[in-house]
Amino acid sequence: MDKTAAISGVMGYVPDFRLTNAMLEEMVDTNDEWIVSRTGIKERRILKGEQAGTSVMAIEAVNRLLEKTNTATTDVDLVIAATVTPDMRFPSLANIVADKCKMPGIPAFDINAACSGFLYALNVGSQMISTGLYKKVIVVGADKMSSILNYKDRSTCILFGDGAGAVLLEPNEEGCGVLDCFMGGDGSGEKYLNLKAGGSRTPLTHELLDLGAHYVFQDGGPVFKMAVSKMAESAKLIMERNQLSAEDVHWLVPHQANKRIIDATANFAGLPIEKVMVNIEKYGNTTAATIPLCLWEWENKMNPGDNLILVAFGGGFSWGATYLKWAY
In the complex, the residues that contact ligand COA under the rule CB under 6 A are 30, 34-35, 38-39, 115, 154-155, 158, 218, 220-221, 223-224, 227, 257-258, 261, 285, 313-314
Residue ranges of the alpha helices (H) in the chain?
21-27, 32-39, 54-68, 93-100, 117-130, 154-157, 206-211, 220-241, 259-269, 280-283, 290-298
Cα-flanking dihedrals φ and ψ of residue 179, to 5°? -100, -20
Catalytic residue among 115, 157, 176, 294: 115
CA end-to-end span of the chain, whole Å?
A: 21
Least distance from C-beta 182 to ligand COA, angstroms? 18
For ligand COA, the nearest residue by Cβ is 220
Shortest separation between residue 147's beta carbon and ligand COA, angstroms: 16
In the complex with ligand COA, the residue whose CB is nearer, 22 or 88, is: 22
Cβ atoms 180, 238 nearer than 8 A: yes
Say which of 21, 112, 176, 255 is annotated catalytic.
255
176 is catalytic: no
Nearer to ligand COA, 38 or 275 (CB): 38
Residue 115 annotated in active site: yes
Burial 181-208 (b: 16+ CB within 10 A, else e): bebbeeeebeebbbbbbbeeeeeeeeee
CB of 254 to ligand COA, least distance (A): 10
Element (H, E) at 170: strand 162-172
* CB of residue 164 to ligand COA, shortest distance in Å: 17
Nearer residue to ligand COA within complex by CB, 249 or 288: 288
| Whether 150 is catalytic | no
Catalytic sites, residue numbers: 115, 255, 285
